[in-house]
A = this chain, B = another copy of it.
Amino acid sequence: MKQISTRFSMAVHILCLLAISPADCTGDFIAQSVNTNPVIIRRLMGMLKKAGLVDVRPGVGGASLRKPPDQITLLDVYRAVRVVETDQLFRIHEHPNIQCPVGRNIEAVLQAELKEAQAAMEARLSQTTISWLLAQFQ
């Protein structure tokens, strides 16, 4: 099966790093900790910046959190890196036969249920903050 992109876990990693090492976290330094290419980090930083979670200093280099880590939830990160669009976690087959009672109704009815399931998952993500994660370390 196809899983939710590692963009999410990498972004969480980045924010944890920024939370514990406030000084000069450059893209290359972060890339070494995450163990990936610096361009991947810069792309993620761009999304985190656009979402208002981090400040990045072009030219001089380095980044920092724009919010205290106890006010950043996993849901914030999940939304920032657009790893799942709203109500689109589950894909539903298209153009069923509307002559058939099932084909005519399945999309709307199932969509409503799957939306609830996705919401339950996202609600759980909103309960965990970056600082709570850090507190679990070791």
Q: Does A60 contact B (CB under 8 A)?
A: no
Oligomer copy total: 2
Within the complex, which residue of B3, B95, B100 is in contact with A90, where a contact is CB–CB below 8 Å? B3
Bound-state CA distance A89–B12 (Å) is 16
Bound-state CA distance A121–B90 (Å) is 11
A9 contacts B110, C-beta separation under 8 Å: yes
Given contacts A2-B5, A35-B97, 12 further A-B contacts (CB under 8 A): A4-B89, A6-B92, A6-B93, A9-B93, A9-B110, A13-B106, A34-B96, A35-B103, A89-B121, A113-B128, A117-B121, A120-B121
Task: Please report A residues at the B interface, Cβ cutoff 8 Å.
Answer: 1-6, 8-10, 12-13, 16-17, 20, 32-36, 74, 82-85, 88-97, 100-106, 109-110, 112-114, 116-125, 128, 133, 136-138
